[in-house]
Amino acid sequence: MKPYHQIPIQECGELLVPIPVEQFAVESPHPYQKLGAPYGDASPYFLRQTVLAALIEAQNQLQQQHPHWRLQIFDAYRPISVQQFMVDYTFAEVVQAKNIEPETLSEEQQQEIWQQVYQFWAQPNYDPMTPPPHSTGAAVDVTLVDATGTPVDMGSPIDEISPRSYPNHYASQPDKPYHAHRQLLRDVMCSAGFLRHLEEWWHFSLGDQMWAWLYNQENLTSKQKARYSRF
């Protein structure tokens, strides 16, 4: 379990609604659908109503500073089946990157790789009290595109399993623009009420367990509960 799973959930019953993708930048086909992730009748471009309203506000804040820039939505709602698919896919990717034959993996090697995977991916848990953040409809992975529609260079791709994914990885390298870009993304998202994952520059949430846990770390006298469970 992650530390944020200790946060109690009081499900508010808010609906999962479609993101108006024409207002944002998106990758088509969706990155996980392209890999064969089993969405079935579900769509990755859904969020809870309040979360979507906040995302629209975040883009408004961005465009006040950079007219015609947009948020690019990489991923939003993620069914448990897709979470399981992507966890397994990432495990296989790490094995391949290490040039290890899957059938020769020792127990120790498996544990080491799973530890790497679960540092960046939540476990695909069906327990409604400990859901993966994206399965609540309250988490979104985003980046930036400029006025020409070109992705802004953030220093590493979304979902990379490496220290480059940590939000402050480039903070000590002012000669590179990556940290400033990440700070801009954080500032516009947080201005709308989101909070950022401590180890992923692209992951933001609002109202789920991770959001409440992060909020409570910063506000010791005013505690929040989560309001979104698995959808």
CATH for 109 = 3.30.1380.10
What is the band of 32 on the pLDDT scale with cuts at 50, 70, 90? very high
Structure tokens given for 43:
């769509």
Instruction: Write out pLDDT tens, residues 211-229.
Output: 999 999 999 888 999 999 9
Please give the Cα distance from 133 to 194 (Å, whole number): 13
Residue 24 has pLDDT above 80, yes or no: yes
Catalytic: which of 57, 93, 199, 200?
A: 200
Is residue 230 situated within a structural domain?
A: no
Is residue 227 situated within a structural domain?
A: no
CA angle in degrees (0–180, nearest 5) for 158-39-9: 75
Residues of the chain with pLDDT > 90, as a percent, come to 81
> Domain count of the chain?
1
Instruction: Write out pLDDT tens, residues 130-168.
Output: 999 999 999 999 999 999 999 999 999 999 999 999 999
Crossing angle for the helix pair 107-120 and 80-97, nearest 10 degrees?
130
Is residue 106 situated within a structural domain?
A: yes
Is residue 231 situated within a structural domain?
A: no
Please give the Cα distance from 221 to 180 (Å, whole number): 31
Is residue 56 situated within a structural domain?
A: yes
Assess whether 200 carries a catalytic annotation.
yes
Average pLDDT over residues 72-100: 92
Is residue 228 situated within a structural domain?
A: no
Domain that residue 37 falls in: 3-218
Q: What share of the chain is helix, strand, coil (3-state, %, to 5)?
A: 40, 15, 45
Report the relative pairing of strands 70-75 and 139-145 from DSSP bridges: antiparallel
Is residue 194 situated within a structural domain?
A: yes
Q: What is the per-residue pLDDT for 60? A: 98
In three-state secondary structure terms, 145 is strand
Residues comprising the chain, all counted: 231
Is residue 224 situated within a structural domain?
A: no
Count of Cβ atoms closer than 10 Å to residue 172 Cβ: 8
